[in-house]
Amino acid sequence: MTDPLAPAGPSSRRPVTLVIADDHPVVRHGLRSIFASSPDFAVLGEAADGPEAVALVTRLDPDVVLMDLRMPGGGGVEAIGELVRRDVRTRVLVLTTYDTDSDTVAAIEAGATGYLLKDTPRDDLFDATRAAAEGRTVLSPAITARLVSRMRAPANETLSARERDVLRLVAQGTSNREIAALLFISEATVKSHLTHIYGKLNAKDRAAAVATAYDRGILG
Amino acid sequence: MTDPLAPAGPSSRRPVTLVIADDHPVVRHGLRSIFASSPDFAVLGEAADGPEAVALVTRLDPDVVLMDLRMPGGGGVEAIGELVRRDVRTRVLVLTTYDTDSDTVAAIEAGATGYLLKDTPRDDLFDATRAAAEGRTVLSPAITARLVSRMRAPANETLSARERDVLRLVAQGTSNREIAALLFISEATVKSHLTHIYGKLNAKDRAAAVATAYDRGILG
DNA sequence: GACGGCATCAGCCGATCGGCTGATGCGGCT
DNA sequence: AGCCGCATCAGCCGATCGGCTGATGCCGTC
């Protein structure tokens, strides 16, 4: 994993330019000071939310933007999508505390080049950032493991929008009949959706479905 | 508790000494560099988990330990309890990303002097740390608001250990009869526990109970 | 144009749930 | 001694759920 003899040309190449996007001042300071300790990187700027990050990246044109996923006022996923839409050359490296399935999948699908957890050690962070700058995909070991196990277990299907609607109401204690009324469909349809949800989430009943939905980040 | 030799005052000349306990290297760096920017503070050391934090605090005797709650290998709450048991004079200032009810309450009950979220701005962090060093309780505005609203709403009762046992099984899709068998009690007792759970969590059925339990940090 | 996923609906039936009205024993607090 | 929370148990009953089988229309893909 950590190769001290890795051919990392410190002064040979131009430093990797960065923008940091995180709503936590503590984390921004931490990342800045970590990258300041190496001549291979140059932090061009910091943003505290999604829109700010998009504006900054567009203006500064960094090699990589380190982006937190959960930020107030337009989350990270929307920002990633916007950057992709603008077709910037900057690579997005998601760096977050959370590792729920929905976050991970959403970020990768939106176009992130990598996904790291904040407990990543300094050197691994350097490696990953360099890799991201070159367009290589990097994932935290924990994330990789879960995605792989996810692929292996077909129990990992995605809920449709309608199924999520139903599940959200179920989590509020709404009965099938009430759900039917609220969604303007018949009770039979609600039951049908629920049967599909149980199958997809591998849950035995509505309580278990709600629980695994929370575990996977679908709810809450 | 009090150092007889310290000319303690609201703005004493001696810097406030700190130990940082967080499993995220990024956060440790961030806090260190933030506090390094002010002459009012001196960071004595860093720990990456609970036991390490306890050892370091015992050895270095800082004024304040900034502690993350969720750490591998012995979480922050246990560490706080251990520090209190050892009767150290060091104040514990919890600094975490999460603000679930159970975390907050557990930390305060364990003996934390303050509870801040990591999105706290630099200056507020300084103020809070100084306050904690003097033994004053400090809470993030968001935390305070929730605790207050919690007090006002009597809907905030605590589940008993047995009730949590039942609820945990319910979240796994276990039927009442199965729960009874697993816990060596009768089905009637399970139903009784559930009725109490519904009342305490203000939930209509088991699905809603599981959902609010997740929301309040009782599960997951 | 066939295929598959999604959303919609129907009826039947046994299993399960949740509400109701109780009761007992234990332990802690006042 | 009295009160209260907790855990334990009982029976009854209507409401709800979940499984099963099967059907239709829409839409996007191959």
Over the stretch A104-125, which tens digit does the pLDDT of each residue have?
Answer: 777 777 778 888 888 888 899 9
A41-50, B156-165, B182-191: least confident range: B156-165
How far A175 CA lies from chain B's nearest CA (Å)?
9
Strand segments (E) across B48-113: 64-67, 91-96
Token pair for B3? 């150092």
Q: Which residue in the set B26, B31, B171 is minimally distant from A207, CB to CB?
A: B171
- pTM metric for this prediction: 0.69
For residue B153, report the phi and psi dihedrals to the nearest 5 degrees: -85, 110
pLDDT at A63: 95
For B24-38, what is each residue's pLDDT tens digit? 888 898 899 999 999
Question: Length of chain A in residues, anyone?
Answer: 220
Nearest CA among B58, B65, B59 for reference residue B43: B65
- The neighbouring-strand residues paired with B47 are B21
Token pair for B91? 């104040």
B153 or B150, which is more confident = B150
For domain A13-149, give the fold.
Rossmann fold (3.40.50)
Q: Rounded to whole angstroms, how far apart are CA atoms A109 and A105?
A: 6
- The neighbouring-strand residues paired with B45 are B19
DSSP A161-190: HHHHHHHHHHTTT--HHHHHHHHTS-HHHH
Question: Length of chain B in residues, anyone?
Answer: 220
Any idea what DSSP says for residue A90? P
- Domain range list for chain A: 13-149, 155-215
Distance A118 CA to C27 C1' (A): 47
> CB under 8 Å to A147, separation ≥6 — which residues?
A104, A139
Please list, residue by residue across B5-18, b when 16 or more beta carbons sit within 10 angstroms of its beta carbon and e when fewer do. eeeeeeeeeeebbb
Q: Which residue in the set A27, A208, A210 is minimally distant from B27, CB to CB?
A: A27
**Inter-chain touch B207–A170, beta carbons under 8 Å:** yes
Q: Classify the C-alpha dihedral B139-B142-B148-B154 as positive or negative.
A: negative
Q: Is B144 helix (H, G, I), strand (E, B) or coil?
A: helix
Q: Is A85 helix (H, G, I), strand (E, B) or coil?
A: helix
CA diameter of chain A: 68
What nucleotides of chain C have any atom within 7 angstroms of a protein Cβ? Answer: 5-11, 16-20, 22-23
B20 membership: H or E segment, kind and range? strand B16-21
For B82-140, what is each residue's pLDDT tens digit? 888 888 899 999 888 777 666 777 777 777 888 888 888 889 999 999 999 998 888 88
What nucleotides of chain D have any atom within 7 angstroms of a protein Cβ? Answer: 5-11, 16-23
Average pLDDT along chain B: 83
B155-215: CATH number: 1.10.10.10
pLDDT at B10: 46
Q: Rounded to whole angstroms, how far apart are CA atoms A81 and A111?
A: 7
Q: Rounded to whole angstroms, how far apart are CA atoms B198 and B44?
A: 48
B37 membership: H or E segment, kind and range? none
